[in-house]
Structure 1
Amino acid sequence: MSLKALPTQTRALKKRRDLLDAALLEFVDKGFDATTAKSIAERAGVATGTFYQYFNNKDEMLLLVARERFAEVHANVRLPGIEQVDQRSGHVDIAAFFQQVLSWIYDFHARDSRLHEVLEYRRSVDAALNEEMHKGEAILLERARQLVHAFGCANPEAVAFCLFAMAEGIVHRHVFHPQALSKAEVVETGAQMLSAYFETLKSSDEIGEQLKHKAPGAQ
């Protein structure tokens, strides 16, 4: 998808921002199909022609909304200093890390649960949007890989994938299929389970390394 160039003037940038904010509200309130260039422009307080000065269509706007949302997630879901973590140092509180990440992702989905539904619905028919979301998800998966590699777990790709899928599943299940359990219960218990799974794998790898070194003929 070829996007329209960003304007350079402050006033034009504000109008573009107002239209994007209006589009987000329209998608959340009405869904994608019922949202139109006219309804977005009306909510932003501008003429429909102004919409087309900054955007080609509503598909472009949804893609840009998705890009901004993923950028927000990427900025918040990180483990500071992970590149310097020693796998045996114990300097990282894994349970606290998972609780922080789950809590933030939960709040993000709960705040924009309707938008998430719209994105999932549209990605199956919009190749450009699907590619954008794949890129965003790949960066989140890379965060999991960084954690796994920092601790030297065996089969890091599989471990990272499972951690990512489990965290995503916990959040999605509770946000989109509400239960009697509170958010706090889900986040705390989910973080404990994820950290226990990770610690078990990490410990198993460390024991395996120790046994290899103790084995007859080991150097």
Structure 2
Amino acid sequence: MATEYTDYVESKDKQPRTARGLKTKRKLLDAAALEFGEKGFHEASITGITQRAGTALGSFYTYFDSKDELFSALVRDMSLRVKDHASNAMNEWQDALEREKLALEAFMNFARENKEIYRIIDEAEFVDPESYHRHYEGTAARIFERLQEGSEAGDLRGDLEEAHAWAIMGMNVFLGLRYGIWSEDKSAAQVAQIANDILSKGIVARS
């Protein structure tokens, strides 16, 4: 079972105990995404985050000890949201390739709706390398698990390795950057189909 971000970046007494507490913490995380995404980690401030969230400064310290701790929690939160968004989109699929297509399309849509994710994850490489590594290692692990299931089902080759999952993730990340953040001149479905064609057909000319 996946661990929640609160399991390792916050102590037990920092976790919300009420529905109101959960709502307040959600507001702080959402506000932090906007603050960090717009200003970057170093220019972002706790005051700016609480103002965006519409909460008192004291509410921040009820759930987080520092800006660094909130940033770590936010990276984990965004990673989990990407995972959940993709999982929800993969309810019905005919084969392993269609499953990957749905996953990429879901990620593209998420990136377009949460453009700050790229700046936040990129900054995590320097601000919180552990969270940065965990984000990409977790994503690659989920892709590799799907590839293994596809191999077992007979949809995919039986010799796929972890490196194949990292290659697919790299393709997805940069497609999301080009067509989700820099521009939206192709639909998420069109981009996912192009990626799917690469997986199914390759790029070698065939007679």
* TM-score band w.r.t. shorter chain: 0.7 to 0.9
- In structure 1, the residue matched to 2:105 is 103
Query: Do the aligned partners of residues 45 and 185 (structure 1) sit closer, same or farther apart at CA in structure 2, a change above 3 Å counting?
Result: closer
TM-score (norm 1): 0.69
Gapped runs of 5+ residues in structure 2? 1-7
Using the TM superposition, give the Cα deviation of residue 38 of structure 1 relative to its aligned residue in structure 2, in angstroms: 1.1
Using the TM superposition, give the Cα deviation of residue 183 of structure 1 relative to its aligned residue in structure 2, in angstroms: 4.1
Query: Do the aligned partners of residues 18 and 178 (structure 1) sit closer, same or farther apart at CA in structure 2, a change above 3 Å counting?
Result: closer
Using the TM superposition, give the Cα deviation of residue 176 of structure 1 relative to its aligned residue in structure 2, in angstroms: 4.0
- In structure 2, the residue matched to 1:10 is 19
The CA distance in 1 between the partners of 2:68 and 2:57, in whole Å, is: 16
- In structure 2, the residue matched to 1:217 is none
* Aligned partners of 1:94 and 1:195 also within 8 Å: no
Using the TM superposition, give the Cα deviation of residue 131 of structure 1 relative to its aligned residue in structure 2, in angstroms: 3.9
Query: Do the aligned partners of residues 165 and 130 (structure 1) sit closer, same or farther apart at CA in structure 2, a change above 3 Å counting?
Result: closer
Using the TM superposition, give the Cα deviation of residue 34 of structure 1 relative to its aligned residue in structure 2, in angstroms: 2.1
The CA distance in 2 between the partners of 1:166 and 1:41, in whole Å, is: 36
* Aligned partners of 2:31 and 2:49 also within 8 Å: yes
Using the TM superposition, give the Cα deviation of residue 161 of structure 1 relative to its aligned residue in structure 2, in angstroms: 3.4
Query: Do the aligned partners of residues 163 and 17 (structure 1) sit closer, same or farther apart at CA in structure 2, a change above 3 Å counting?
Result: closer
* Aligned partners of 1:74 and 1:139 also within 8 Å: no
RMSD over aligned Cα, in angstroms? 3.0
Using the TM superposition, give the Cα deviation of residue 2 of structure 1 relative to its aligned residue in structure 2, in angstroms: 4.5
1:153 corresponds, among 151, 154, 157, to 157
1:119 corresponds, among 106, 121, 126, to 121
- In structure 2, the residue matched to 1:170 is 175
Structure exhibiting the larger radius of gyration computed from Cα positions: 1
Which whole-Å deviations, capped at 9, do the CAs of 1:63-122 have from their partners, x for residues lacking one? 2222222222323435569xxxxxxxxx93445333322211111122222232122123
- In structure 2, the residue matched to 1:37 is 46
* Aligned partners of 1:110 and 1:175 also within 8 Å: yes
Query: Do the aligned partners of residues 121 and 2 (structure 1) sit closer, same or farther apart at CA in structure 2, a change above 3 Å counting?
Result: closer
Matched letter for residue 30 of structure 1: K
TM-score (norm 2): 0.73
* Aligned partners of 1:144 and 1:163 also within 8 Å: no
Matched letter for residue 173 of structure 2: E
- In structure 1, the residue matched to 2:3 is none
Query: Do the aligned partners of residues 76 and 45 (structure 1) sit closer, same or farther apart at CA in structure 2, a change above 3 Å counting?
Result: closer
SS in structure 1 at match of 2:10: coil
Matched letter for residue 153 of structure 1: R
Gapped runs of 5+ residues in structure 1? 82-90, 201-219
* Aligned partners of 1:3 and 1:55 also within 8 Å: yes
Between 160-169 and 27-36, report the one with greater CA deviation: 160-169
* Aligned partners of 1:26 and 1:40 also within 8 Å: yes
SS in structure 2 at match of 1:8: coil
1:50 corresponds, among 59, 73, 88, to 59
